[in-house]
Amino acid sequence: MMPLDDRDAPLLTLLRVGRIFAPAPLEATDLLIADGRIAALGRDLAVPEGWPVRLVEARDLTAVPAFIDQHVHVTGGGGEGGCGTRCPAITAREIAAMGIGTVVGVLGTDGISRSPADLLAKVRGLKAEGIAAYMYTGSYRVPPPTLTGDVQRDLAWIPEVIGLGELAISDHRSSQPRQDEIARLVSEARVGGMLAGKRGICHFHVGDGQRGIEPLRRLLAETEIPAEQVIPTHVNRHRALLEEAADYALAFAASVDVTAFDDPGEEGLSGFDAVSRLLVRGVPVTRITMSSDCNGSLPEFDTQGNYIGMRVARNTALIADWQRLVREEVLPLDQALGLISGHVARVLGLHDHKGRLAVGHDADVTLLDGDLQPQQTFVAGKRIYARDVPP
């Protein structure tokens, strides 16, 4: 067998690890990868003599599904304080170093100097570097900026577009959309997704306004839209909103997305605290996901809504909060993995090929050490990050 060489990888890759969580723990300790997909799982797997195979010996590491971050400002967010406050774009290495193999790019407040075309170019650039990357069309505002001039056409004709977002509600930076406008846009995303064979979700930024998640409660109560079409995020920005999110998830069997804030401040909750609280409230773990909001802005405003400062979000808090959930035994590893892999894949409509280590699925694999720190990340069978290899 040939040694690991990422510059000219053969068709086959054989990973030999200490344990495999797929997310359930398996007896298997070997993963055979062929043409970017998992071909076999077992013990002491053998490859016919003379076949070109890349061997990865990692007996001290645990293989898990590569993580999925459904809310990343890949081109950078910000801009609330003028052009000098635009956040930087993220790099492929920054993504993969956290064990993340798949990202969904979003636009935020700034849909003017940042555009869906700019976002698509960055997404395709990340794909060229080995990351599995997708995007939402639109931004905070209504009507949303699009690539083709129409939400349905974006979903139908652009492979990377898997939904609409992040649409802002209950926020002074939003377009203050009417209830009928929200319903129409979610419907367009749903139909566009159906035409393309995608989920066509609508990803909602929820601000700290008094209306909270009420527009989404009304949407599901007053229309035929299924709960799986809408995903509220940032639901842990303050305690009352999190309680409302728990009620919403329980009432409609809906999913909610917790943001792993770098610094949740006095009013907000960390990703760890938010997930813990949702579980206490009885929300099924399968209805909870976590995302980073990384490279987005964390602006500060006074009581009049005037900009007073900003920080840039990073994705390190996502992994740290997730690790803490396992270390403090809030969730066992197999259940915790769903928060940043399997449940996310289901929400996004990618569950037929991502979010699990199973034969036929994409060979997106993260290797964790005993402290749950990502050491290597593989996407479609190609190693795109190794901690001991410099960039």
Q: Which residues have a catalytic role annotated?
A: 293
Residues 260/292, Cβ–Cβ less than 8 Å: yes
d(CA 197, CA 101): 22
d(CA 6, CA 385): 10
> Residue 137 belongs to what H/E stretch?
strand 132-137
Beta-bridge mates of residue 15: 31, 56
Per-residue tokens: 160: 């990377």
Per-residue tokens: 372: 């749950």
CA torsion sign, 319 to 317 to 75 to 207?
positive
d(CA 381, CA 9): 9
d(CA 91, CA 135): 16
d(CA 314, CA 58): 28
Q: What are phi and psi of 249, to 5 degrees?
A: -60, -40
Q: What percentage of the chain's residues is helix, strand, coil (to nearest 5)?
A: 30, 30, 45
The closest alpha carbon to 282, from 249, 254, 257, 319, belongs to: 249
Radius of gyration of the chain (CA): 21
The closest alpha carbon to 203, from 235, 237, 228, 230, belongs to: 230
d(CA 210, CA 151): 29
Kind of pairing, strands 365-368 and 53-65? antiparallel
Residues 364/37, Cβ–Cβ less than 8 Å: no
- Cα dihedral: 31, 33, 372, 131 (round 10): -170
Per-residue tokens: 271: 């990703």
User: What burial letters (b/e) apply to 356-376, b meaning 16+ CB within 10 Å?
Assistant: bbeeebbbbbbbbeeebebbb
